[in-house]
Chain A
Amino acid sequence: MAAHALSGPAGERRGHTIKRIAASETVAGWAFVMPAVILIAVFALIPIGWSLLLSLQSNNLIAPGHYVGLANYRALFKDHQFRSAIGHTVVYTAIFVPVSVGGALVVAVALNRKIRGIRFYRLAVFVPLVTSTVATGIIFLWLLDPTFGLFNYLLSLVGLPQQQFLQDPNQALYCIIAMTTWGWIGFDVIIYLAALQGIPADLLEAAEMDGASRLSTFRSVVVPLLGPATLFLVVWSTINALQLFDEIYVTTRGGPLGSTTMIVYYLYQQAFQFFNGGYGAAIAYVLFVAILLVTLVQMWIGRRRVYYSS
């Protein structure tokens, strides 16, 4: 981010006059971007640099630490709990992203109509997003309570067996996926709705006149035109999914039996429960690099596959 901001105003240098203007433009340019540069430097770059140093230390975050080289990283590669946290996070992301983005597309198409009460439906889809993740977690704890929860009551009404949900190590992760999809889908829907309304009506008309069915119009015209929105949502959801924390912290605390321990929850445990600050920072750095790589791959695929209309 900052590299971009820095290279912008550095300007072309051709001849003295231009140079002088460039110089003054440089000053003005810097003046404009300075507040942002300072904010980014103080709240992003310096902490990023510091956590790199921290990841090379043995540090309990209470007393001054000491440098241990790459010991934290070496320990990470041998840490089977970290490996299972990666496993849970990958499973979570691999299901959450397609389900929430795909589901949002279906919901957005359904909401992109002029029917009575459409504002209410749109609001209903959006409300979970503005509900705090903590509130979402507490609500679902009650809904999914094996004895007193609504879901088991509904199951009993239709004669299905009672489930343990968040208290079953085999089900908890999927409950978390369902819960977070419910919580986050509103954002994806809004983006898709905006993108749907940006599709030129004449293209749809042309497709209709050419005799395309509604389904093939959707597949061959609408979906490709939604490409940029889809790319954005996939990248954004993936980053969010890889960093899942709040909902885990509020509901399962990584359990039962570690079955929902995600990378960031494991980081939290190490840094703030076990006082392994350096180790936690190393986990954060591994995650940072992983997210960077995943995002780059997604952007690279996106550049080849996504159609930008203008």
Chain B
Amino acid sequence: MKRLVLFLTAGALALAGCGGSSSGGSGSGTTASGNVNITLWEGYTETEAAAINKLASEFNATHKGITVHVQFYGNNDYALQKVLAAIAGGKPPDISYLYGSWAPNIVTNPGIVQLNSLIAQDPSFNWNDFWPAARGVATVNGKIIGVPALIDNLALVYNKKLFAEAGIAPPTANWKWGEFERAAIKLTNTARKQFGWAYVNDASEDTVWRYWAMLWQAGGTILTPDGKHAAFNSPAGVKALTLLQTLAQHKSIYLDNGSGNYLGLFTSGHIGMLWTGPWDLANITASKIPYGVEILPADLNHQTISGPDNWVVFNNGSARTKAAWEFLKWLTSPAVDLKWATMTGDLPMRASVTKLPNYKQFVAKYPGVGVWVKNLGNATQTRPVSVLYPKISAVVGEAVQSVLLGRAQPQQALSQAEQQVNGILAAP
């Protein structure tokens, strides 16, 4: 706790110098020979850390005049505070990995470089080749604040053995909610401590985003088109929450308290199905459990939800900004993007990557990953890109939780949440 309060005050300290110090000298990273040194901050571990270093050396070897220095700054969770402190200190990195959820706040900082004009001047960059969900999160009120660094989405992962034991046909790409619901109930076996499905029930964004996917599948939206009112309290919203309620009442959902226990329980055969992303794939593969991956079941459609992150560029003068841009352009170009994906198992960020000849090797290396890539086409909507979103998420998280715990009816929970969200949106 003490650390937290100090942290808060340190943040305030960092801000003290924020106003004027955002532009470093343009020559500070340039040596006499004209070489531009730029710094990239990342919080990767293991495979991804090795991959980013390898690609940076490759870039340095092939691009005369620019040297990229990759610096590990610790857990990505703390990246924002560190970058802010560095901006205040006058020495921000040139590029930093930042969570997509921070985008609406980051845009308020004068130290970042908006990429709109760079992208507009450079048709070869082909911005529209990035998946729509990734572009959506990098764009705040029309201002592009970063280049997509990661994209994922939720798909259905299932245990083939449990399906066979229960005598249920495995999920297909045409699955509907009804089939999903019946399977989840049939896979439930209290005596064997076996659950059909798992749901993260800590009322955090982890609880909320799975619900948004269901809301969209039922044809609902989060907010009204003008973004000024809640729209989730609709027949679609109630239908989605009722599906959760039904499965909770059948004790078919393992309610994970946010610690991620669901993964170990899935790999030990206690859970039949997960809605999860490629980040769990390595552990699932390692467990040798017979698994399959399929897109999410549909009510009206098969929409999924995506949580992209960004490479954000900071202003250290035009020479370094240009160098940073060159590097990001190269890093996210289709060929290099595929290389990155093949090294790490991350999904490619561009649609055109799937048409490259080597794409087949990537899919073969990570069984099931192809479904997640295809599923990016189902990630057609994004969460509201707004500084108010975390508050909205907290309200909806409690609504979903109250239904899962049997404390409220779906309609009642959503009406209450709607009222609170409208209050948040109306506040000055």
Given contacts A47-B6, A63-B108, A148-B193, contact A257 B407 (CB under 8 A): yes
Q: Which residues of A contact B398 (CB under 8 A)?
A: 255, 257-258
Flag whether A67 is at the interface (Cβ < 8 A).
no
Alpha-carbon separation in the docked complex, A245 to B204 (Å) = 17
Q: How far is the CA of A174 from the CA of B9 in the complex (A)?
A: 32
CB atoms of B9 and A147 under 8 A apart: no
Assess whether A108 is interfacial by the CB under 8 Å rule.
Answer: no
Question: Is A189 interfacial (CB 8 A cutoff)?
Answer: no
- Cα separation A243 to B19 with both chains bound (whole Å): 33
- Contact yes or no, B1 A54, CB < 8 A: no
- Say how far B11's CB is from chain A's closest CB, in angstroms: 5
B10 sits at the interface (CB 8 A): yes
In Å, the complex CA distance between A271 and B6 comes to: 12
When distances are taken between beta carbons in the complex, the residues of chain B under 8 Å from A47 are 5-6, 9-10, 12-13
Provided the pairs A62-B108, A167-B405 are in contact, do residues A275 and B387 lie with their beta carbons within 8 angstroms?
yes
Residues of B within 8 A of A25 (CB): none
- Nearest to B15 among chain A residues (CB) is A64
Q: Known contacts A62-B105, A246-B1: does B257 contact A167 (CB below 8 Å)?
A: yes
Taking a contact as CB atoms under 8 Å apart, the answer to whether A147 and B407 are in contact is no
Which residues of the other chain, B, contact A284 by a CB distance below 8 angstroms? Answer: 5, 8
Give A187 Cβ to nearest chain B Cβ, in Å.
16
Q: Which residues of A contact B1 (CB under 8 A)?
A: 243-246, 264
Please tell me if B202 contacts chain A, counting CB pairs below 8 Å.
yes
Q: Enumerate A268-289 residues with CB–CB distance to B below 8 Å.
A: 268-269, 271, 273-275, 277, 280-281, 284
Q: Which residue of B lies closest to A285 (CB)?
A: B5
User: Is A54's CB under 8 angstroms from B9's CB?
Assistant: yes
- Is A273 in contact with B390, judged by CB distance below 8 angstroms? yes
- Determine whether A177 belongs to the interface, using a CB cutoff of 8 Å to chain B: no
What string of 1s and 0s marks CB contacts (under 8 Å) between B84-106 and chain A?
10000000000000000010011
* Contacts A62-B109, A169-B405; A48 near B9 (Cβ below 8 A): yes
Which of B4, B204, B390 has the largest number of chain A CB atoms within 10 A?
B4
Task: Tell whether B327 is near chain A: CB-to-CB under 8 Å.
Answer: no
Contact A60 B105 (CB under 8 A): yes
Q: A167-B201, A253-B202 are in contact. Are A64 and B405 (CB under 8 A)?
A: no
Interface string of B281-298 (1 = CB under 8 A from A): 000000000000000000
Q: How far is the CB of B396 from chain A (nearest CB, A)?
A: 13
Chain A residues, CB < 8 A from B110: 63
CB distance from A29 to the nearest CB of B (A): 28
**Among A94-102, A137-145, A218-226, the stretch in contact with B:** A137-145
Is the pair B407, A281 in contact by a Cβ cutoff of 8 Å? no
Across the interface, B254 reaches (CB within 8 A) one of A48, A141, A147, A166, namely A147
By beta carbon, the residue of chain A nearest B9 is A47
CB closest chain-B residue, reference A47: B9
Tell me if B8 and A251 are in contact (CB < 8 A).
no
Interface residues on A, range: 35 or more
In the bound complex, CA of A46 to CA of B265 (Å)? 48
Interface residues of B in 14-43 (CB under 8 A from A): 15-16, 18-19
CA–CA, A195 and B15, complex, Å? 47
Inter-chain contacts of A54 with B (CB < 8 A): 8-9, 12
Given known A141-B257, A141-B261, contact A256–B106 (CB-CB < 8 A): no
Q: Tell me, in angstroms, the Cα distance from A60 to B407 when the chains sit together.
A: 34
CB distance from A192 to the nearest CB of B (A): 24
Q: Number of contacting residues on B, CB 8 A? A: 47
User: Which chain B residues (390-408) contact chain A, with CB distance < 8 Å?
Assistant: 390-391, 394, 398, 401-402, 405, 407
B258 within 8 A of A: yes
User: Which chain A positions have C-beta within 8 A of B394?
Assistant: 269, 273-274
**Is B80 close to A, CB under 8 A?**
yes
Interface centre among A48, A269, A275 (most CB of B within 10 A): A275
Residue of B nearest to A138 (CB): B259
B134 is an interface residue with CB less than 8 A from chain A: no
B105 touches A251 (CB 8 A): no
Chain A residues closer than 8 Å to B407, beta-carbon distance: 169, 257
Contact residue among B4, B5, B259, B265 (Cβ-Cβ distance under 8 Å from A148): B265
Q: Is B8 a contact of A62 with CB atoms below 8 Å?
A: no
Q: Which of B8, B10, B193 has the most CB of A within 10 A?
A: B8
In the bound complex, residues from chain A placing their C-beta under 8 Å from that of B241 are none
> Is A51 an interface position by the 8 A CB rule?
yes
- In whole angstroms, what is the CA distance A281 to B258 when docked? 27
Q: Which residues of A contact B64 (CB under 8 A)?
A: none
Q: Contact between B84 and A62 (Cβ–Cβ < 8 Å)?
A: yes
Q: Which residues 39-72 of B sit at the A interface, judged by CB distance below 8 A?
A: none
Is A307 in the interface zone, CB < 8 Å from B? no
Q: Indicate if the CB atoms of B401 and A264 lie closer than 8 Å.
A: no
Contacts of A138 in B (CB 8 A): 259
Nearest Cβ in chain B — how far from A133, in angstroms? 10
Is the pair B4, A245 in contact by a Cβ cutoff of 8 Å?
yes
| Smallest Cβ-Cβ distance to B102: which chain A residue | A62
* Chain A residues within 8 Å of B258, by CB: 253
Q: A141: which B residues are within 8 A, CB to CB?
A: 257, 259, 261
Residues in A with CB closer than 8 Å to B203 are 253-257
Closest partner residue, chain A, to B13 (CB atom): A50
- Chain A residue, CB-CB nearest to B388: A274
Q: Offer 11 A-B interface pairs, CB within 8 angstroms, sorted by A.
A: A61-B8, A61-B84, A63-B109, A63-B110, A256-B203, A257-B398, A268-B4, A275-B390, A280-B8, A281-B12, A284-B5
Interface residues of chain B, those whose CB is within 8 Å of chain A, are 1-2, 4-6, 8-13, 15-16, 18-19, 80-81, 84, 102, 105-106, 108-110, 193, 195, 201-204, 254-255, 257-259, 261, 265, 270, 387, 390-391, 394, 398, 401-402, 405, 407
12 A-B pairs besides A50-B12, A253-B203, A264-B1 with CB distance below 8 A are: A46-B13, A47-B9, A48-B9, A62-B105, A63-B109, A147-B195, A166-B257, A245-B1, A253-B204, A273-B390, A277-B8, A277-B11
